[in-house]
Amino acid sequence: MHLLFSYGTLQQPEVQRTVFGAEIAGEADAVVGHRLGEVIIEDPHVIEVSGSAIHPALITDNSREAEVMGTVFTLTDDQLAQADNYEVAAYRRVEVPLRSGRTAWVYALS
């Protein structure tokens, strides 16, 4: 099992149904040491599923107060692969610390 932190479109029920085939329960948490920026998505499928061409992007910010709220999901190997397939090349999957003390995968700017 894998922890995946989402601060963007993977939190949307309609995106989860498209990517995973069902809605997935998660827990509120926050990524520390990061802030939000934006990225313009060009993949028509991702734009159609998410409803937007502008997506949030996680950016490293080592200031003391920097954190991004979101949701942590517990995913199987197959679900993590499905999430990888959904995300566009502008993102890379990296491990980050969470406010809860856990670490999780997250999609950050490449």
Q: What is the pLDDT of residues 28-82, one digit of tens each?
A: 999 998 888 887 888 888 788 888 888 888 888 877 788 899 999 999 999 999 9
pTM of the model: 0.84
CATH of the domain at 39: 3.10.490.10
- CA distances (Å), origin 80, targets 39, 44, 59: 22, 21, 21
pLDDT value, residue 104: 96
16 contacts 10 by C-beta, under 8 angstroms: yes
Can you give the residue range of the structural domain that contains 48? 2-109
Which pLDDT does position 110 carry in this prediction?
66
CB contact set of 1 (below 8 Å; sequence gap of 6+): 74, 75, 76
- The total number of structural domains that make up the chain: 1
User: Among 5-9, 15-19, 42-46, 78-82, which stretch is predicted with the lowest mean pLDDT?
Assistant: 42-46
Arithmetic mean of pLDDT, 8-37? 92
